[in-house]
Amino acid sequence: MLRAHRLFAALFVATVSLAGTDAARAQDATAFAALERAQPQLVEWRRDLHQHPELGEQETRTAKRVADHLRSLGLTVRTGVGKTGVVAVLKGAKPGPRVALRADMDALPVTEQTHLPFASKVKAEYRGQPVGVMHACGHDAHVAILMGVAQALVAAKNELAGEVMFVFQPAEEGPPVAGAVFGAALMLQDGVFKDFTPDAVFGLHVWAGLPVGSVGYRSGPLLAAADEWSLVVKGKQTHGSRPWDGVDPITLGAQILLGTQSMIARQVNIATSPVVLTAGQFQAGVRFNIIPDEATLVGTLRTFDPTVREDVIARFRRIADDYAHASGGSAELKVANNAPATINQPALTQRVRPSLEKAVGAANVVEMPLVTVAEDFSQFANTVPGFYFFVGSTSKGIDPATAPINHSPQFLLDEQALQTGSQAMLQVALDYLRSP
């Protein structure tokens, strides 16, 4: 009798398992068929967005395009989240996990040099300067991908267990004004996860450093924390022919900057935790033969470890103060954190990798090294468990190592990345909703 009960239990488990497998296959078939039908739309959406890029917190046209599409799918849409963000929630037929899928919408102050028929000719003002505007980082592709994934999941909603939040985020590239709360942090401040707290959040990024058709991931730290620093160096104005009568803030600023590079090379263990400190602006003076009384340096600091970050900032302050004191001037350092490091939780990574392999093939799933760019997706991933991955965007036959990188005015996206990215994100979402 006991053997009969055990046999019945085993048969019951096998039957339920097979039924679950059949249901999963049917669900995937419905969703992926809808995604395949949507591929021409993804290309059209991406090209339209590429031709009409908008800077951070100015994405009104983009947000309207997204919101109109989500409403056409029957979803209830929230707009104005984090200023110009768009959010919608899809409820499946049965209760289950909650997942958030995120895409960033903003473009960059870059003048496009691709000569594409749909190249951007948009001009705008950025921090008081006239600039060209370009989707030089591929956010047009991210928006198109998530619009397509939303369409596919809606097609399969009667077979879904759980809920999906679609998050279209503004201003990933930073705020219009340095030091302001922006992007993901501002959406969180506006309560994006208040009424809908996801069990996990997923994001992706097209990447010129990988060939099209591939995806890249890493368990643990993947992307660096980004700080925007500014250093105001004050000296004493004098004639350029008599520097000894004043205090030269240009020389002092240069000495401080070089001191930071020596500090990183000699006082920080970059073998275990890479650090990059770069100056992108050095402004001083108005005339060739006058040593000014002030110079301003602005740059970025990239780190992967919070303790190392604090140590480097403290050393930076000490270097600035010591050089300034020795020269008879002064230096004030301000540091604004734009994004913490993006860290893929190991347990979630282990859970998601099979989905990536299912979507694009195991041979096309690449383990990434540490990447010193930053992403404020980390704000979401510090709130709930998160996973972030790259989608190759460089055409086959072109060496990704020599292709124009993201943020380049020549950045070119192979549109097959739209299919790869949407398939990977869709599979990740479907599998997560099915898992316990």
Residue in 106, 159, 294, 414 annotated catalytic: 106
| CA nearest neighbour of 243 among 292, 284, 285, 286 | 292
Give the pair of three-digit tokens for residue 150: 């939303």
CA 179 to chain centre: 18
Residue in 172, 227, 228, 375 annotated catalytic: 172
Active site residue 172: yes
Active site residue 48: no
303 touches 224 (CB < 8 A)? yes
Give the pair of three-digit tokens for residue 410: 């020549």
406 touches 172 (CB < 8 A)? no
118: Cα within 13 Å, side-chain hemisphere: 15
Alpha helices by DSSP H, listed for 190-298, are 249-267
| Buried/exposed code over 76-115 (b: 16+ C-beta within 10 A; e: otherwise) | ebbbebbbbbbbbbbebeeebbbbbbbbbbbbbbbebebe
275-284, strands of its sheet edge to edge? 275-284, 294-303, 225-234, 330-339
| CA nearest neighbour of 164 among 76, 84, 243 | 76
| CA nearest neighbour of 213 among 429, 419, 430, 35 | 419
| CA nearest neighbour of 205 among 413, 434, 431 | 413
| Location of structure tokens 């929630």 | 89
| Location of structure tokens 């004639």 | 239
Q: In 3-state terms, what secondary structure has residue 21? A: helix
CA 216 to chain centre: 14
DSSP state of 371: B
- Which residues are the active-site residues? 106, 172
